[in-house]
Amino acid sequence: MKATRVVRSVITLVAMGMLLGTTVGAIPLERHRLYSKPDPGCSGGIEGSIAYPGDPIEQVLAIPPDEPRLVYEGTVTGSDRREFRFSGLPMRKYDLVVVYKNRFFEGCQLHRPDNTLTSADVAKIDASIQKCEPFFTAKIIHRLEGTTGRGNVARCICTFVREAKSETMVAGDVGGWRRTFKLVMLKDVGPGWQIVRTRDLYPVTTQPSGARPKHTYSKALSRVRVSDRVKVLDPINLGN
């Protein structure tokens, strides 16, 4: 009976990994496999620190707004875990995502033109997201931008949560709820909005109290230009 339960757990993890865009990306110890590999031939990078809030950073990510399929994982440094760095970044602009235990900040450029989505578009997009990936029982759209009209596109930042205990193969995680932040890309196909791609940003196992984290958009995390050298940022105040 116990062996059967383990097999079922493995199957569940593999299925989750397929949803997350990788076969094992749902496992916290293997989360790094979700992220794009830095280019050893590139000398560009980013170094920075967070002046506020003063909490330790759990993760920091860099995403090119013109190619959201690429998500680079930064290294959190400093004795208080308030500093970070990226290396091996190709020359382009990057938006940053800073993740804390029960909240996250992001500066993602979701849509370059002005946002013209109507209330009907928003309702249809929400309906599409609520129906997708039934493993996750709750989906929260934090921010959404796009262009109204058939054939046009939209992007949104979401939190997906499975509001039930999930068995995992990682010691200490058994019994938690699964949660992931997602970048979701959609297209208006006429009858409604179709999800064309999702990109997981930070899947974890958490307790129910941390399942619905606070989200904040911060312009200070937007469009960091990286050349052929390390870009050193001034201390970032995310309270502004």
101, two tokens: 């235990």
Contact 179, 161 (CB under 8 A): yes
pLDDT, tens only, 101-111: 989 999 999 99
Question: pTM to 2 decimals?
Answer: 0.83
pLDDT, tens only, 16-51: 443 343 333 333 445 768 999 999 999 999 999 999
The two beta strands, 92-99 and 103-106, are antiparallel
Burial class (CB in 10 A: 0-12, 13-18, 19+), 94: buried
Using the 8-state DSSP alphabet, how is residue 52 labeled? Answer: E
Q: Does domain 35-107+218-233 have CATH number 2.60.40?
A: yes
Helix (H), strand (E) counts: the chain: 2, 16
